[in-house]
Amino acid sequence: MPKKIKNQNAKKAAKEIEKDLAKKIGMFDQLPESCSSCGDFFDKTSIQEVASWQVTVRGDTVRIYCPNCWGRATELVKAADELTEGEEHNEVS
């Protein structure tokens, strides 16, 4: 049975998730303990939550958003960006 091919694809996908997780885990010291929007508790020990919550970094400020708020936040962020245009941006180009 060609089980190996299936496993390789799964491994590749898992690696991408791992990379993303590693990035988030690297910031764990700075991560807030709850959603920056609704205050929902963020469980750092839950891989599912770590994988689905969104982390935003602006300067020294790290914010996290639960999946529920993130959908709405993307709209708000657009508006906020327009409002905070004077703020310092660290864009790498």
Judged by the rule CB under 5 A, the positions of this chain that interact with Zn ion are 35, 37-38, 40, 66, 69
The least distance separating Zn ion from the CB of residue 24, rounded to whole angstroms, comes to 16
Closer CB to Zn ion, 35 or 50, in the complex = 35
The least distance separating Zn ion from the CB of residue 7, rounded to whole angstroms, comes to 36
The least distance separating Zn ion from the CB of residue 83, rounded to whole angstroms, comes to 20
DSSP state string for 1-69: --HHHHHHHHHHHHHHHHHHHHHHHHTGGG--SB-TTT-PBP-TT-HHHHHHSEEEEETTEEEEE-HHH
